[in-house]
Amino acid sequence: MSLNIKNEDVHTAVRELARALGVSQTSAVEVAVRAKLAELQAEQQRAARVERFHEALAAAQQAFDGVDLRRYEAELYDEETGLPR
């Protein structure tokens, strides 16, 4: 298996990364590709968590529709400091 990269800027960057890491050019490419894949996976996981949060928030808002939560606020938090009682 081989890659044939015909971009001198990419070759230069790979050589620079390999030198900085003290590894072969192949290893440098592997490190860079795996790092980018991990970054993309982390972003997808973050987006999924945000989506789940928004879904939970919407469900909570629907569950408390018509309920006056300010009534409970006075019981839970000190009016002057805003800190929990």
Q: Whole-prediction pTM value?
A: 0.65
Three-state secondary structure readout of the chain: CCCCCCCHHHHHHHHHHHHHHCCCHHHHHHHHHHHHHHHHHHHHHHHHHHHHHHHHHHHHHHHCCCCCCHHHHHHHECCCCCCEC
pLDDT of residue 69: 79
pLDDT of residue 83: 87
pLDDT of residue 61: 87
pLDDT of residue 84: 86
- pLDDT means per 10 residues in the chain (85 residues)? 90 97 97 98 96 94 85 83 85
